[in-house]
Structure 1
């Protein structure tokens, strides 16, 4: 049920003063209304709410909270037009958590970081030994090794030059075969040579890579070689 002041302003039931004009509401009832109850002792001033409550403003006289926009206090009737509007307290900005510092590397981790990548050709060691004169050719440090005879006219300079080891007389082609590393394994491949490549006395098909193992016998034409690993 609502209560109206003498000017017709509507107020919530139980209000002591008009929210629009501040008129006391216990004298605003018309002559046809029931007798007004005896005046009660003034209500104790309401405890002021914490500043900054959203949607309300504090009465400067009694400290009661009123909705924002009200012209008069609903508790004591004082004008609220000069009362400061509440301002919400600013919340501190959340600080980003610092990133954890990287743990120092242990000595064994530092050694692993500085080591050569796994499967690098330089990590593999192998040799080719000419059976006729025991001359050795070091194959370490390269991922592809060409075998044949040097021919400056054709600009051919194989990594393993068998010219001085009877290569021309023994039927070694200028680019006879090649040895290369694949997934950590040495492989032998004939380069479509004229007099063929033999591995452990088995003729290899041209351009067909075949695994090499320690102490394997390789024959290029009639020149015999021995493959050795440490």
Structure 2
């Protein structure tokens, strides 16, 4: 095929001149590019399956015909989905089905009234522990009545678990002449485990219990009518 521009002979079937590059007259037109594929719209998502019609038994999960009042499987009374749930003794939120999200199930239902799946029971919150009772108050400590009695029947009362006796105490019931040898804190009387005891408090002139010197001898148990002599001048008797 001869080029119309440079008269160069080109082989048959060429589209452009191999010498000058011009398009050859009478060359077959180039094939058009293939058409782009037509974009098809995405297929619509399948519709969810229709829920079966009827009344689902909340006890056994069997689907019963619409309008039925008793389950055909377990003969339990049916609760209609549109009817309000019966009042429960304890208020509880309705059971929401974890499978289909149906939230109209009664709080006592075991199976979903919409899809029939078993419901997960909601655990009840633990009951609050009752407050601990306060311990009873300790009973007051009582001590048996005791006293020191002088020969003239004057008395020095003993009260509480511990009583110290000295010159000032005896001056209320005895003369200064009789008490001048008694120390300021001469002796002590204590109550321990249901018993009274006497102990000399390091007096100058000592203490005798039933004629026996107890100075420096520790405590001695007291009994009713025991004789106590302070500094060899003041005599008293212990009485309960």
TM-score, structure 2 normalization:
0.43
Instruction: Kindly name which structure, 1 or 2, has the bigger radius of gyration based on alpha carbons.
Output: 2
TM-score, structure 1 normalization:
0.45
Higher relative contact order (CA 8 A, sep 6+): 1
Of Structure 1 and Structure 2, which has the larger fraction of its residues in strand? Answer: 1
